[in-house]
Each structure stands twice: as structure tokens, then as C-alpha cells.
Structure 1
Amino acid sequence: MSPGYSIRARLLLGAALVLVAFLVGAGLAVQRAHADSVRAVHFGRLQGTVYLLLAGAEVDAAGALTMPAGLAEPRLMLPASGLYASIASPGAGEQWRSPSSLGQQPPFRRAQPVGEWRYDDLDGDGKGWLGVTYSVNWAGRNGAVPLVLSVLEDRATFDAEIRIFARTLWAWLGSAGVLLLMAQLLLLRWALSPLRRVAGEIRRIEAGEQEGIEGSYPTEITGLTGNLNTLLRQERVRQVRYKEALSFLAHSLKTPLAVLRNALAEPAQLPAAVEQQVARMDDIVQHQLGRAAAGGATRFARPLELLPVIDRIRDALAKVYAEKRLALTVDGPPQLRWRIDEGDTFEMMGNVMDNAAKWARSRVAVRAGLEQGRLVLQVDDDGPGFSDTEAVLGLHVRGDERVPGHGVGLAVVNDLVASHGGELQLTRSDLGGGRVRIVLPAP
């Protein structure tokens, strides 16, 4: 089936195929059962006619078969009535035939085992027949006389009953099928109306008439609408972050550029001014790009194994600060996983651990784990600690002249943590230095 088909068309076509298959199967089964039932009724009537013949038959002293002038079944007395009877005496070589068989050549049976019934659906004389045959040994004065009684009925009556029933049956089944398909169409229209409403809301979002999915929907598509709203919010936050970062970057670079412009008038001070302002601009660019690149919390990120990422950062810092011979330890569950972007993890933990390694005297301890369903990342060092935690966390890009480890880096981390809806805590560690504690809620 072409992917362009609607869900309603697919469901309606599938329901129609199943319904037609069911109605055809049910109709054929009912028709077959009715035909068997009607055939059994006809055979029962024919068997009753055999009993009537047995009741009227007589064998005289000479062993000759005699039948009464009138029979209880009037159709046997009417020529070409469609009901015909025969009594054959194989031993005497004679046969009695009902007056109704005048001018007809029904295919009567002349042989049958004694005491057995035979039910036939046969052809002969250009017609179809239903027949019942029975054989008895008739007790006469000179011994038993075998008689074979055969009753045939033109199958035209039987076929007419079957045709009338089949026509009525299929007419009703066809009408029922049409009604059921119409009911199915209405049911599908009602059941799929939430999807049509979602599509309408998405078109209004595209047209800028609304900001998200606002309607109330069944539980089966609540996850879809919730995820769409999450994606829309994340996209808006990302766009706002990019605009703000570009705006802040342009504004923050004005001062260093002005200083460089003024330094052109004093060539002796130009090298020092260039070095200082280039370093400052580098910090500003890193800070604003870090804010813009913050991925933010997302429920669609793949679960990330955190300890391997932290171990890679630890190994890199061990090489950078090899002369300090720091003891860098990482503690946490080996299978700790969290839905977070790998780049955000490197950015947060890289800045925090680099800060700790820069200011530590001999030891940095990293711990990762879960507390009450939240991710906790904690970095302790034995350095001097934080003198003013509020100033560090509230640092604006215009003040990026501090030591990089406690300036631009922590500002980027603070923005990243905030984008994940988390909390960045700066306190005194048990090692005597600073403690940076990152707490992230479940996405």
C-alpha cells in the first residue's frame, strides 16, 4: 500500500476486507447448513413415502405384487407431479410404478441389500433427483419375496428452495455489510478525530497562531503531544540562547576593541594592550560560545555512561597538571547512566575538574551518583576554596578578567546546569578546599 494513504483509509480498507471475508465465510457456512437441512427434510419425506408404500403393498398366493388403486400420497397419483415411486420384485421379474411416472423415465434402483436404506442425489432422464431406496423380504405363503422400494423426487423443488434462501441470505448479509461499513466509517471518523485536531494545531503552530499543543487528548497520543511541546520549547530556548549569545558577544567585544583602538595612539603600550585584550576577548568568546552551545535537558538524548567520560577528563588533566602530581580519584557506580548530551557532560565536568586541578594542592576527588532520582556530580579539592561564591556564580561577561578556572569556566557551567533545570552549589569541601556540586533533575 502506498505510504500516501491515510490512516483512516488503511483502517477502513482493512476492516472492509475482514468484514467481507467474514460475511462470505459465514454466508457459505449458513448456506451449506441450510442446504443440508433441506436435503435431510426431503429425504425424510421420501422415507415416509416408502413407509406408505410398504403399508399398501400386498403379495397374493402366487407371489404376485398387488397395490391399491389409490395411495395416501396424492402426488403419486398425478402424472409428472415430480414424485415417483417403484416397487421391484427381482425374483419375479416384475415392477410396479406409480401412476405419476407415466411418460417419465426416473432412474429407479432395482437392487439394494435387504434391510438397508440408501439416500441418493443423482442425475437421470435429463434431470436431477433425490432418491430413497429400501429393500425387504416380504413373507408370502410360498416363502419370502424380496421387494425393492424406490422413491424419487425431482430436485427442481429442492433447488428452488436453496436459490430462494441463498438470494435472501446474501441480500441480508450484503445489507448488513454495508451498514457495518458505514458504522465503521463513522466510528473511525470519531476515533481519529484527535489526530485531526493535532494536525490542525500543528498547522496553526507553523502559521505562528499558537506556540504549542494546547488541546486535551486521549492517553494513547498524550506522549506524542507532550514530546512535540518539549521539542518546541527546546527549539525556542535554543533560538533565544543563540540570539542572546550573539548580542552579548557583540556588546562584550566593544570594550576590548575600544581599548585596542586607543592603544594605537601609544605604540609603546600596544604589545601589552594587545596581549591583555586578546586574552580577554578569548575568554569572552569561550564564555558566550559555551552558553550558546548548551544543549539543555532533553528526554530524547540517549542514556550516557558517565564514568567513562569522567575518566577521560581525569586522564587528560593528569597529563596537563603532571608537575603537580595530583591524586585524581573518581568514585561512582560503574553502570551509572543518564540522559544527557555528551558534549554538555564534557563541558560541565571538564570546567569544574579543571578548576579543581588548577587550585588543588595535592588531591581532587570526584563522585557521581543518584540521590532521590536526581543526578549528583561532586568535585572536591584541597585548595584555598571559594572566597565569594555568589560573585563567582553571578559573574557577567564584562568581568571575565579573573583566573579562568573560577571565572569563565564556572559561568559556562552555571549556564549549562541552569539549561538542564539543575542547581550548581559552591561550598567548602571535606578536603579543606572548594566543593562544586551539580544536581540535575530527571529529564
Structure 2
Amino acid sequence: RYAVLWEAADGREQRYEFWVLETAAPLNQIIQTFRQQLWGGLAAVTLALLIALWLVARWGLRPLHQLAQNLQKIRTGEQGRLQGRYPSELQPLTDNLNRLLDAEQSQRERYRTAMADLAHSLKTPLAVIRTLEPADSRELHEQVHRMDQIVRYQLQRAVTETRQGPVLGQRSSLNQSLDRLGRALGKAFHHEDKVLDLPEPDQEWTLAMDVNDVLEVFGNLLENGFKYARSVITVSVTRQPDFPDCWVVDIDDDGPGIDLERRHAVLNRGQRLDTLQPGQGIGLSMVTDILGSYGVSLRIDDSPLGGARFRLVLPAAP
């Protein structure tokens, strides 16, 4: 529709309208097609965005999926800690989880070791108790008290994160410990024709060590001496110019000795000198563990008696 004002010659204006009519079907068809294409395009874009979001989410969550798989393998025992590379955002989490797993495995290993050490330490008191007569109530009470000390000592070691070594003010009498162990081992090995030669003390040998550590160290070394010596085990305590603040203790036996190439191996847990004597190869590893906490090492040499010599340089208490 188009409107026109026509001015005649006499000045009058006449209004005219021109109309052009056509069917609207083609226009409506075009609009309908446009709408269909618009909704189709929006649907395609939406689908593409959803697929893209799914792919991005899958790619972004892949490290978490890997973490879950590793945790499942740890739960089933296929591996002991988290493996693989993770994004920097997850690295602190995986590092802390690995530290937690290492601590848990270390704690479990400490408990396992403590139980083995406990069983090993209780053998001698039990052997002494089996040899006691009904009238030896005092000796029985002493061995039961010793067993109670051993249980407390080993459980304390099991729950301690790391051994702290010497503590300021620790003092123990080597004289009393050797005398106590000599009497106990003499009863435990009374059926064997072997002699434990302890030194006659001319003074008090005081060590800057816990008494339970001293009993564990010398108990294991002397028990090994009884196992492998042919007839005699000797203990000597001296001062040497090279170690003015220490007591040098030598434990000798006349047994078969230890080959030079095997002296380091026998200090490891589970290593045995031979299979003829009963045991699990625990005693010497306990000794090295305890001595290591004091900064002391166990040295194995040839003994003048023909067997092995175990030398300890122990800190003397002032």
C-alpha cells in the first residue's frame, strides 16, 4: 500500500492509495525454513558443546581416574605406592598420599619386626624358666620380671617413629647386666659343656645407654656365643687410648668363626650363620639396630681363641 496526495490545477488536493496484493505463502515458507534451520543449528551447536564439555571433563578428570586406579591397585596389593605423573594441581595430594602410605608401611614393618624381636628376646627367659626347680621361686620371679621388661621395651620400639639413641642422663651398669645375663644363660645352656668367662670387675663399668638396650645387645651376643662356641666364651672390658671416653668390650669364642666375606651379611635381618642351630637370623640385626641408634657399630674379627670376636666401643657415662 502506497499513499499519494495529488494537487489539482485549482489547488485542490486529492488523496490516492495504490494497493499491490500478492499471496504470503512464499514468505511464510521462507520464515518457516529459517526457523527450522535456526533451531537445527542451535541443536547442533548445543550437541557439539555438550560433546566438547564431555571431552574436556574426561580429559580434566583423567588424572583422578588414574589416581583411583592406583589406589585400587594399592588396595589389592599390586603396588605399594602411587605411580605415574600427575598435574601440578594434584602433585601435592599424591606426594602426601605417598608419604602417608610409606609411613603406614613403615609402621606395619616396625610392628612385624617388633613381634619377631619380641619372640626372639623371650626365648632365653623361657628357656631359663623351663630349667628351674619348684624351689627356685626367686629366679622365677626375676625371669618373669625380665619378660615383662622385654614386652614393654619391644612394644615401645614398635610405636616409636625413629629411635632417638642416647638420652641425656642415661646410665646403666655393665657389671650388673653381664652378671645377670651370665646367670640366666648358664641356666638356659646348663646341659652343654660350655663355660662363660666373665671378667672380674676392678671398677664400675658405667655406660651411657639404656639398661634394656644393654641387656638386648649382650644377651644376643652371648647367646650366639653359647650356640656356636665349642667350649668357652670370654668377655673382656678395657679402656684404650684411641677411645678415652668409651669402654671397649670384646666377646670371644672358640667356635668355627665367621668368614671374612660373610661378616657383613650376617648382620642383616634373616641371615643365618648356618642351619644347624635353631633361630631366625634376628639377633645380630637387633644388635646392629640398637647400636646404630647410639652411633656405635659392631665389628667382627678373628678371635685369639680361634672363633669369632665381636668388638663394641660403647659410650662411658661420666
Q: TM-score, normalised by structure 2?
A: 0.49
Larger Rg: 1
Relative contact order higher in (CA < 8 Å, ≥ 6 apart): 2
TM-score of the pair, normalised by structure 1: 0.37
Determine which structure has the larger strand proportion and give its number: 1
